[in-house]
């Protein structure tokens, strides 16, 4: 029986991009790029299968060499990687889809075993309390090295080059990854940032690196083709902030100066540790396009858009398991169940073999 979600299936102008619907594919790390971090035909098929969404946001992609946190995630710092991503963008565009690249630095989530022995960098020398998958098996995260002030311009330049490379690869825009306990988020939240210089202390200092990255990326693309993802309450990667509501308010208000394509907010915590309603704070203070993410049903997404709280909703796991998610939601068809055992394995299983709906 066909379900009616008139707002979810209405068109949207997201910055410079015209979307036919408001269903966004959230960036999902799937580690299918091999040890060379090269986007490939498997990935081109994966994204093109899902091209009927309003916007696809490709997975966390290494902005620069030597910042691997997942072992086999893609990069965007070499000519070969640009060519690999071009296959992906061409495949998505051939199906009339739109795709942004999420550019990212893992910070302290990187591991020497994944980066030729290189010690990871972070705002402060505080390790993640967990283990990471490496070629040597599961290893505890290492204590990172505090980034020196004079090294910070190199990080900003790395993001700028990644944005330039993403343009060459044929993307429609980029999303800056400021969430989930990776480098920009590590600077932003006070649980991981104990600096006493211009990049630590009050919120405006902790947000400085993220904003400087946004500035150079907007210089490359124009702000109307740039998005930002934040997760003020997600405790993943040992993250915490002492006042996520104030942080969310400050960031939301500050971002109004940028005229971004969108702000993408992860509204909750993977582990349920922090429960503050940061999304409502962002709704009240951010004047641009707001995308909500984490655990939305189609009904909830429709209500949030109809009520003017959000412009679009990003779906993660449901999109992973349902390449034709928009069509299924519209038809009221049952959804495939995702298999967590194949989230990060190699090859097409659990990646490109989820069935499409019987038409």
Bridge partners (DSSP) listed for residue 145: 121
Cα–Cα distance measured from residue 207 to residue 249, given in angstroms and rounded to the nearest whole number: 12
| Contact status, residue 235 vs residue 191, Cβ threshold 8 Å | no
Instruction: List, in sequence order, the alpha helices (H) in the chain.
Output: 41-49, 79-94, 152-168, 183-188, 203-206, 208-221, 244-255, 278-285, 298-306, 317-321, 325-331
- From the candidates 5, 47, 141, 182, which is the catalytic residue? 182
Which is nearest to 91 in space by CA: 46, 58, 55, 57? 46
Q: Is 182 a catalytic residue?
A: yes
Dihedral (CA of 105, 107, 113, 115) sign:
positive
Q: How far apart are CA 348 and CA 102, in angstroms?
A: 22
Please state the φ and ψ torsions of residue 86, each to the nearest 5 degrees: -60, -35
C-alpha 163/C-alpha 154 separation (Å) is: 14
Catalytic residues: 182
């Amino acid at each position: 029986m066909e379900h009616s979600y008139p707002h979810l299936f209405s068109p949207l102008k997201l910055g410079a991009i015209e979307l036919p619907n408001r269903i966004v594919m959230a960036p999902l790390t799937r580690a299918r790029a091999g040890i060379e971090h090269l986007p490939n035909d498997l990935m081109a098929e994966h994204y093109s299968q899902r091209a009927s969404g309003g916007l696809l946001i490709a997975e966390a992609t290494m902005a620069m060499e030597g910042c691997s946190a997942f072992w086999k995630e893609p990069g965007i710092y070499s000519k070969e990687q640009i060519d690999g991503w071009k296959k992906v963008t061409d495949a998505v565009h051939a199906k009339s889809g739109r795709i942004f690249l999420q550019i990212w630095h893992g910070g302290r989530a990187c591991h020497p075993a994944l980066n030729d022995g290189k010690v990871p960098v972070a705002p402060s020398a505080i390790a993640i309390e967990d283990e990471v998958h490496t070629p040597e098996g599961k290893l505890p995260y290492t204590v990172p090295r505090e980034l020196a002030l004079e090294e910070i311009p190199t990080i900003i330049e790395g993001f700028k080059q990644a944005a330039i490379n993403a343009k060459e690869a044929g993307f429609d825009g980029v999303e800056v990854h400021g969430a989930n306990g990776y480098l920009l988020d590590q600077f932003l939240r006070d649980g991981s940032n104990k600096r006493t210089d211009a990049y630590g202390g009050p919120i405006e200092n902790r947000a400085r690196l993220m904003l400087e990255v946004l500035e150079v990326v907007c210089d490359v693309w124009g702000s109307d083709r740039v998005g930002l993802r934040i997760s003020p309450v997600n405790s993943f990667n040992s993250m915490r902030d002492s006042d996520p509501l104030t942080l969310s308010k400050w960031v939301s208000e500050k971002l109004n100066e940028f005229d971004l394509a969108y702000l993408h907010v992860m509204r909750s915590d993977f582990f349920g540790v922090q429960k503050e309603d940061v999304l409502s704070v962002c709704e009240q203070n951010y004047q641009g396009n707001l995308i909500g993410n984490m655990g939305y049903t189609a009904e909830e997404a429709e209500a949030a858009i109809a009520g003017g709280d959000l412009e679009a909703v990003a779906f993660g796991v449901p999109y992973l398991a349902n390449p034709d998610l928009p069509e299924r939601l519209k038809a009221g068809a049952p959804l495939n169940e995702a298999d967590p055992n194949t989230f990060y394995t190699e090859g097409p299983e659990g990646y490109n073999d989820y069935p499409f709906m019987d038409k």
